[in-house]
Amino acid sequence: MLCLLLAIPPFNLLAQPPAPHVRIAQGELVGGVTNMGPYVFKGIPYAAPPVGPLRWHPPQSPASWQGVRDATKFGPACMQRHSGHISASAMSEDCLYLNVWTSNLHPAIPVPVLVFIPGGAFVSGSGSQPVYDGTNLAMRGAVVVTINYRLGVFGFFAHPDLTAASPHHTSGNYGLLDQMAALRWVRENIAAFGGDPHNVTVFGQSAGASCIGYLMVSPLAQGLFDRAILESPDILFTAAPELRKNFDGLTSMETIGLAVAPHISDLQGLSDRDLMTRANAAAEKLLGPGGTGRSRLRPETTLNNPNAIQVPWAPIVDGYVIPAQPAKLYAERRYLHIPTMAGTNTDEGNLFLSHYHPDNTAGFTAWVERNFAPCAKTVLAYYGPSSPAQAHESANRLITDAVFLHSTFLFARDTHGFLYRFSHVSPRGAALGLGAFHSSELPYVFGKTHNPLIPYKPVDHRLSDEMMTMWIHFALTGDPNLMNSSDWNRIGSNGEINYMDFSDTPTVKSWPDSSLITFSDPHVCKSNYFASIR
C-alpha cells in the first residue's frame, strides 16, 4: 500500500495546468497561469532596446530568439523619477516590453483585443503596475495587452541635432512612436494568443488617454486600432509646444533641448540617471521663476504648489507624427473615424490638491486671474467660492472641468462618441475625503475590487462587473450599451448630449452643466485652458 501511495503524485501537482506555449514571429514563448485561470505572458519585447545609438531614435524591430523565451516575469519599467509604484531597480532604458492576458489560446472565434496605455503625466508609469492586471477582463472574453513606452526626456526630447539627423526632419515624439510600434506588434502577433487582429480597442487613462487622442490625429497611426476608450484625458485640446517655433507663448521644444545641451553628442554618453538629472535641471532653469521660457500650462500643479516647475516632456506638434495642433485637427475632422468612448471622474481635481488648504479666497482669485486670463471674471462667476470654507471644493471643481472635462467633452463631441462620468466614491475615496478622484475608476475597469486590504462592498463588485462588461461590449461591437442602458447614445451632430453616470447604479443622464459648453465657445472665453485655439 505504501508503494502505491508513493506512486500517486500530490493532488496540487495534478491540478496544476501546464505552462502555456505560444509561437510568434520572433520565436516561442512560455508563459504562466494566473491564480484565477487565464494565461499571462509578460515582458515580451515589441521593439529593440532603445539604448546606445538607438537612444532618441524611432523604435526598431525586435530581435528574434532561438529556443523558448521565458515570459513569466515583467520587463523593466521605463526610466522615470522614483515613486511609490516603481522602484529604481525595476527601471531601465531597455524597457519596450508588453504583457498579454488571455483565457483561451485557441477559441472557436477570435476574441476582441484591449490594449491599455498607462498614465503618469508622460513621465511615470508602467504596464506592469498591479492595478493594470488584465486577468479579470480576460476572463470576460478579451485578450488584454498592457505596454510600456519611453517617458520623460527619453520619450519626448527634441533637439536641432536630432531633427537634422532625422529623414523626416523631426524629433521629440518617441513615446508616441513606441505606442504605434506596440500596436503594430499586436496586429501582427495577437492571433497567436486567441485575439482578433482586426478588432483592436486601445484604452488608456490620464496621459495614456491623451496619447490615444494624439494617435487619432497622427497619419502614422492610421489603421493600427479600431476603437478607442479615453479615461480622463487632460491636455489634448490645449495648446501644445511646437518643434522649432514658439507657439501661443510656449517655448519651442528645440529651444528646451538646446538648454539641456548645445550638441546632442554632449548627452549620448551620459548614464540614464545623469541624463534625467541634467535635463530636468536645465528645463527647470529655463522654465522656472526668472527663466526666459514658458511651458505648457498645468494649473493643477501651480495651485497645489506655486513654486512647482512645469514639466516640458510630453507630445508636441512636430509636423510629422503630429502634423498640427490637435484641437485644429479635430475641428477640421482630420482624425481616425472610429467608435469612441470617453469620460471623467467627478472629483478629478482632489488628487492634485493634497497641500491646498486655503483659509481665504484671495489666493484662489489670484490663481484664477493668473492662469485663466483673459476670461478670469467669467471663470470666477462660475467657480468662485462664496466663503473661504468652499475654496478647496471650488478648486476641485475648476481643475476637474478645466483640465479633464474640457478635453473629454470636446473629444467626445468632435468624434460623436459615448460620454460617461464616474461619480461613484470608492472606499479609498471616502476614507481620504477625495470623492471620485482622478484614477479611482481603474480598479473598477480592471476588476480589482476584491482587495482584502480595502473594504469594498457588494455595490463596488456590481459596479465593477457592469463596467468591465460595458468596456468589453464596446470592444466587441463599438457600442457599450447593454439591455439596462439602451438610452446611452453617442453625442449627436445636432447637439443632443447624454452620458452614462457610473454611480452606485449606472444611470443615463442628460448633460447637466452649461459652464463647460459656455467656455468652449471662443467668443466667450479664449484662454489656454478653454478653447485656446479653436
Please write the tens of the pLDDT for every residue from 369-420: 888 877 888 889 889 998 999 999 999 999 999 889 989 999 999 999 999 9
Specify whether 438 is catalytic. yes
- Residue ranges covered by each domain of the chain: 19-519
CB atoms within 10 A of CB 48: 16
Once rounded to an integer, what is the mean pLDDT over residues 291-295? 89
Q: At what angle do helices 253-260 and 272-287 cross, to 10 degrees?
A: 120
Once rounded to an integer, what is the mean pLDDT over residues 331-353? 96
**Nearest Cα residue to 110 out of 196, 188, 48, 183:** 196
Pairing label, strands 111-117, 143-147: parallel
Task: Please state, for a pLDDT cut of 90, what percent of the chain lies above it.
Answer: 73
Specify whether 159 is catalytic. no
Once rounded to an integer, what is the mean pLDDT over residues 481-496? 77
pLDDT for 309 beyond 90: no
The predicted pLDDT at position 514 comes to: 53
Catalytic residue among 242, 284, 348, 466: 348
Catalytic residue among 406, 424, 438, 473: 438
DSSP E strands, 271-389? 340-345
pLDDT for 11 beyond 50: no
pTM: 0.93
Superfamily of the domain at 19-519: Alpha/Beta hydrolase fold, catalytic domain (3.40.50.1820)
Pairing label, strands 143-147, 97-102: antiparallel
Q: H-type helices in 190-293, by residue range?
A: 207-215, 253-260, 265-268, 272-287
Pairing label, strands 498-502, 507-510: antiparallel
Burial class (CB in 10 A: 0-12, 13-18, 19+), 5: exposed
Coil, helix or strand at residue 337? coil
Catalytic residue among 128, 206, 218, 426: 206
Q: What is the mean pLDDT of the chain?
A: 90
The predicted pLDDT at position 4 comes to: 37
Burial class (CB in 10 A: 0-12, 13-18, 19+), 432: middle
pLDDT for 515 beyond 60: no
- Please list, residue by residue across 102-119, b when 16 or more beta carbons sit within 10 angstroms of its beta carbon and e when fewer do: bbbeeeeebbbbbbbbbb
The predicted pLDDT at position 457 comes to: 96
CA distance 189 to 23: 9
Q: H-type helices in 202-243, by residue range?
A: 207-215
Once rounded to an integer, what is the mean pLDDT over residues 8-30? 75
- What are the tens digits of pLDDT across the range 67-115? 999 999 999 999 998 665 677 678 999 999 999 999 999 999 999 999 9
- What are the tens digits of pLDDT across the range 204-225? 999 999 999 999 999 999 999 9
**Nearest Cα residue to 183 out of 154, 203, 161:** 203
